Structure 1
């Protein structure tokens, strides 16, 4: 069955990607309470492409943890799995204990294709899961809420620092909150523009940003370009 053939409905198989058994069982209970059928993936492949291929044969939607490499040879993050799954039109939700600590770093790279991020514990209930799956399904069909729509916006690189996962660019999105800095993995900018981050400090760039997001963690960034220069006389 392809997603676009029909909406998700009760009893549909939902893949659970989680490397810890206790969390896998807990997520399975939530899936059952939401009237879906849990399909636990107990052995996570070393290749994200292999995992997506397995999902496609076993389920019609996905719930995935973020940090999947504990005690195994998995080198990718769950955020990448969720983004790739949604790109393939398989509704996917990220459910993790590391939502607060990772949303401004390792999750940011794939946030544009993660409709809703759920925090294990506070968001671990059937109603929130059903809401997140519904939002993911809508975006797979090309329907976006105002908070998730991208707009071309000015992004100023105000500073940089070294974080746990590499260099972080401290950015200001003028159309969002001009007095608030937002962390963006520097590699997202440099890979897009081919310019070292050191040469972009203080520069005004432009990017596609969901400027109506309510929190910094919900912001995503795409397609960085050099922005307009500062008008003379400023």
Structure 2
């Protein structure tokens, strides 16, 4: 996988061993300032014990407040059960590259990420305010999720979004969310539900009694 990067003029270092005592923030701190970009697999635990996923690391690298490190996620799990684990961190992942397409698009993905980190957001990555209706919650499983309608995206299509940010933002319990309305900034021009991310989540204000008769 280093070949297309080297062909594009990058010098590459391949990291396969991780300190099992480090979390994503600690590992990121150890590489900041050492590299110009990061290309990271989603599943990192194949060769050693790792406390984080590639999705978490890539997102935190791109969103680092002081020293953003352009980072691209590669994965063969984009359409599997691991999608939810990637979706949890999607705000900070401008591009997910399928391993089968790696050699063709990884350099383009780095350029895409560099542009976003410089403030040039592509149309499908720009977020704006939209109502969200919570239809159901799935609090168990590896990645707890909520089934929602994102009005500004596709009002007739329900999607699954990460549950943890909703709970953190609203202070509600999972069984209190069904039927509630939220407001959030969402990149509603995204083509696929897996590409959606959510910012500034809050409870929508309650509608006054008799608002339909007004």
Does the pair score TM above 0.5? Answer: yes
The reply on whether 1:80 has 2:59 as its aligned counterpart is no
Q: How much does 1:229 deviate?
A: 3.4
Q: Distance in 1 between matches of 2:168 and 2:196?
A: 19
Contact 2:135 2:178 in 1 (8 A): yes
Residue ranges of structure 1 left out of the alignment (5+ in a row)? 1-26
Task: Look up the match of 2:90.
Answer: 111
2:112 to 135, 159, 163: 135
Deviations 1:107-142 (A, max 9, x none): 122111111111111x212x4111110111112212
Q: Give the unaligned 5+ runs of structure 2.
A: none
Shift of 1:217: 0.9
Q: Which whole-Å CA distance do the structure 1 matches of 2:56 and 2:145 have between them?
A: 19
Q: How many residues align?
A: 206
Name the residue aligned to 1:28: 2
Per the normalisation by structure 1, the TM-score is 0.81
- Within 5 Å, which residues of 2 pair with 1:52-67? 52-67=28-43
Residues 177-186 or 222-231, more deviating: 222-231
Moved over 6 A (4+): none
Structure (1 or 2) with the greater strand fraction: 1
Q: Give the 5 Å matches for 1:1-234.
A: 27-46=1-20, 47=22, 48-87=24-63, 88-101=67-80, 104-121=83-100, 123-125=101-103, 127-161=104-138, 164-230=141-207, 232-233=211-212
Alignment RMSD (CA, Å): 1.9
